[in-house]
Structure 1
Amino acid sequence: MNKKNILLLETVAEDAMSILEEASDMNILTGFDETSVTSQIQNYSIDAIITRGKGQVRDSFMAQLPNLKVISRCGVGLDNIDVSSATKRGIKVVNAPNSNADTIAEHTIALLLMLQRNLYDAVTMVKENRWQDRGSYVGDETHGKTLGIIGMGNIGKKVAKIASALGMNIIYWSSKKEDVPYTFVDLDTLLKTSDSISLHLPLTSKTENLIDKAAFSKMKTNALLINTARGGIIDQKELLQALENKKIAGFAADVLVEEPPAKNDPLMQLKNVLITAHLGSLTKTTYTKMCTMTVKNTLAILRNEAPMENCVFNKKELDNS
């Protein structure tokens, strides 16, 4: 039996690794650094690549793998894969659609509440034995405020549902009007009227730096901006200017253009900024789900079986997102 060769560019969840190891018709290879990748592609004909968020799969890499049939990412975003080149080469690109919607929605709301209620400072105050400083505490509630959601996909819908339960008024702008009980508005209206704005878009040529100097100029001075999508959707230079010049009141994110940020990044020094280390999907439940889903679909394709619906992502979908 000729085994298919699957190259792992990063580790995967334990349950997913067990599925791979039990696949007797597959040969599992690891390439966690440049040296090991070079060695593996010199010694084996690679049929599939599985990565998470760091392993880069660009056209020059694909060109070295003439038998490559599948590139799989244990996650949703595909920033680290050249989808256009893969499509032209007839290589299927697999992701784990909707696998992280619940956890990213929860993380978004958590960041919003922390920022709105100034919870980070409130907790730090007690940990530093500054109970007496409670008199200078400033925070507010979300109830009754307007949340503007940019991108009403799976995650945007879940964020809207939770925020609505908290008593927020939901408006949204997306590439198309969705069948949801929320008000669809144009982007300018959303920017001008929202008390908080949450981003839920893929990073494409159309969305890169969507939140730019002009966008910040339209926001309320008390507006909070939340980004759990992709760092590149926001112009980071203009974000810093907007925060320093008090054009907006605060920023919270799980994603940045540069990850990790530079040690001297001035954005990290601002009190009205909360950043988590791109870990919104790294709950045990979601991480396992993303990895096992991706592995099972990769194996199905290599075995000429039908993978789950909507797991194969192509260039046309990227252009229309």
Structure 2
Amino acid sequence: MFLICDVFSQEGIRSLTEDGYEVVYNKDLAGDGLVEEVRSLQPEVLVVRSTKVTKGVIDASSNLKVIIRAGAGTDTIDVEYATTQGIYVANCPGKNATAVAELAMGLIISIDRRLAENYLFQKQGKWRKGIFAKCLGLKGRTLGLIGFGNISQKVAQRALAFEMKVVAYDVIQKDTEGVQFVSSIDEVLEIADIVSLHVPNLPTTKGMVNAEFLNKMKDNAVLINTARGELINEEDLAVHLETNENFWYGTDVLKGEPSSKECDWEHPLALHPRVYGSHHIGASTKQAEAEIGEEVVRIGKKFKEIGIIDDINHVNKSMLKKNYTLVIRAKNGTKSLADIYTTLEDNQWDIEKTESTPCKSEGLFLLKILGDGPRNIEEKLSSFESIEEVSFE
């Protein structure tokens, strides 16, 4: 069973059900309600987007085999605990990159042209054209990108189309036309008029935007964050906003966001007049929903069919790796070996070592393979006439 507990592509659900998979879809599940539903349904596959998957959720199902994040980041999932329970965690990197990049550019444009205030005055029946005459425009200004992954690269493409200058810092530099790479974050902060964050939430990046970071930026700079709220020391940012009257912050993410889809909620930064915020909607477009839905379906079907997850999606593979000893009794000859190794490669088996010995029965050999891969390899190998017996030791 697939339990999908966030907004998800209807086409993706249709694809699963048409192939005979049982699907329960409830986009409003979260917290205790999610725990109870998992306990009741005992799903094998849990699909989430922004919903938190805690120890309690994981413990609620003894049948749970894989958690799929319908997006890239997995900091809302207790990956470490899932790993201790032998549960696979997968994600869909790059599939929502365009949507998040579009939102980042939207925040940049909105701050530059003060769109929120424009809307507000019109709704109040007021005409205030004169106060917006100081808007600078984007052409010729410098956008600094910290991190240069899928989303950041798409932001760069769009900024260049606006005739902006683009500088970037990443531990891995990528040869990208029109983008100037610099050797440190400090260089980005010194050069950029607008700084956009595109790094994951890690121990090394948590709270990276602090007083020291902010004081290295230009007094009238704009900071954009469509990555993670945990990157920001919000107390330091609040002080910086108060002491730098021309500094702006645009964000799609804040610390302590509600787990529910709708509720009353206030945040000090969200109430600040020079903070433009959105409701963690970076991936919330129908286009992104469709792309992510297709990828989730592909991951889920492949796992259900052959018990494996592709490396690009497998978040906890290195932590979850298990070695098995596969014991194969086969007829002597190159055909037997070809059948064995081709099948192992096709089914993504990682081989650590092998040991081959002659059998007492004439014309047979015993092959022991220590490695990691889908357990249904036993069935696949047994289908060959050259192979007499397959088992796990």
> With structure 2 as the length reference, what TM-score do the two structures score?
0.72
In the alignment, is the contact (CA less than 8 A) between 1:195 and 1:222 conserved in 2? yes
1:79 is paired with a residue whose SS is coil
Q: How does 1:286-297 map to 2 (within 5 A)?
A: 286-297=288-299
Gap runs ≥5 in structure 1: none
195-204 or 268-277, which deviates more = 268-277
Q: Distance in 2 between matches of 1:286 and 1:36?
A: 24
Alpha-carbon shift at residue 127 of structure 1 (Å): 3.9
Provide the residue aligned with 1:242 in structure 2: 240
Alpha-carbon shift at residue 241 of structure 1 (Å): 1.1
Alpha-carbon shift at residue 13 of structure 1 (Å): 2.2
Q: 1:9 to 1:297 in 2, by over 3 A?
A: same
Q: Distance in 2 between matches of 1:194 and 1:145?
A: 8
Q: Distance in 2 between matches of 1:39 and 1:114?
A: 41
Q: How does 1:177-192 map to 2 (within 5 A)?
A: 177-181=173-177, 182-185=179-182, 186-192=184-190
Q: Distance in 1 between matches of 2:266 and 2:311?
A: 45
Provide the residue aligned with 1:28 in structure 2: 23
- Identify which of 272, 275, 290 aligns with 1:273: 275
- Identify which of 108, 116, 133 aligns with 1:112: 108
286-295 or 258-267, which deviates more = 258-267
> With structure 1 as the length reference, what TM-score do the two structures score?
0.87
Alpha-carbon shift at residue 160 of structure 1 (Å): 0.8
Relative contact order higher in (CA < 8 Å, ≥ 6 apart): 1
1:188 is paired with a residue whose SS is helix
Alpha-carbon shift at residue 135 of structure 1 (Å): 2.0
In the alignment, is the contact (CA less than 8 A) between 2:71 and 2:95 conserved in 1? yes
In the alignment, is the contact (CA less than 8 A) between 1:148 and 1:171 conserved in 2? yes
Percent identity over the alignment is 30
- Identify which of 46, 51, 66 aligns with 1:49: 46
Q: Distance in 2 between matches of 1:282 and 1:263?
A: 20
Provide the residue aligned with 2:335 in structure 1: none
In the alignment, is the contact (CA less than 8 A) between 2:209 and 2:233 conserved in 1? yes
Cα shift readout 1:22-42 (whole Å, capped 9, x = no counterpart): 232x33346735356436535
Q: Distance in 2 between matches of 1:113 and 1:120?
A: 11
In the alignment, is the contact (CA less than 8 A) between 1:143 and 1:168 conserved in 2? yes
- Identify which of 13, 32, 50 aligns with 1:17: 13
**Cα root mean square deviation, aligned:** 2.5
In the alignment, is the contact (CA less than 8 A) between 1:145 and 1:195 conserved in 2? yes
Q: 1:18 to 1:222 in 2, by over 3 A?
A: same
Alpha-carbon shift at residue 108 of structure 1 (Å): 0.6
259-268 or 96-105, which deviates more = 259-268
Provide the residue aligned with 1:231 in structure 2: 229
Alpha-carbon shift at residue 150 of structure 1 (Å): 0.7
Q: Distance in 1 between matches of 2:190 and 2:318?
A: 32
Provide the residue aligned with 2:208 in structure 1: 210
1:90 is paired with a residue whose SS is coil
- Which amino acid in 2 is paired with 1:134? K
In the alignment, is the contact (CA less than 8 A) between 1:208 and 1:233 conserved in 2? yes
Provide the residue aligned with 2:75 in structure 1: 79
- Which amino acid in 2 is paired with 1:269? L
Q: 1:121 to 1:88 in 2, by over 3 A?
A: same
> Does residue 135 of structure 1 match 2:130?
yes
In the alignment, is the contact (CA less than 8 A) between 1:75 and 1:291 conserved in 2? no
Provide the residue aligned with 2:96 in structure 1: 100
In the alignment, is the contact (CA less than 8 A) between 1:219 and 1:248 conserved in 2? no
- Which amino acid in 1 is paired with 2:283? S
Q: Distance in 2 between matches of 1:97 and 1:264?
A: 31
In the alignment, is the contact (CA less than 8 A) between 1:217 and 1:247 conserved in 2? no
Q: 1:311 to 1:117 in 2, by over 3 A?
A: same
Alpha-carbon shift at residue 66 of structure 1 (Å): 4.1
- Which amino acid in 1 is paired with 2:9? A
240-249 or 308-317, which deviates more = 308-317
In the alignment, is the contact (CA less than 8 A) between 2:200 and 2:227 conserved in 1? yes
Q: Distance in 2 between matches of 1:41 and 1:120?
A: 44
1:243 is paired with a residue whose SS is helix
Provide the residue aligned with 2:389 in structure 1: none
Q: Distance in 1 between matches of 2:120 and 2:34?
A: 44
Alpha-carbon shift at residue 309 of structure 1 (Å): 6.1
In the alignment, is the contact (CA less than 8 A) between 2:142 and 2:167 conserved in 1? yes
Q: 1:43 to 1:301 in 2, by over 3 A?
A: closer
- Name the larger-Rg structure: 2
- Which amino acid in 1 is paired with 2:230? G
Q: 1:315 to 1:230 in 2, by over 3 A?
A: farther
Provide the residue aligned with 1:146 in structure 2: 142
Alpha-carbon shift at residue 240 of structure 1 (Å): 1.1
223-232 or 33-42, which deviates more = 33-42
Q: 1:11 to 1:162 in 2, by over 3 A?
A: closer
- Which amino acid in 2 is paired with 1:136? I
Aligned length: 309
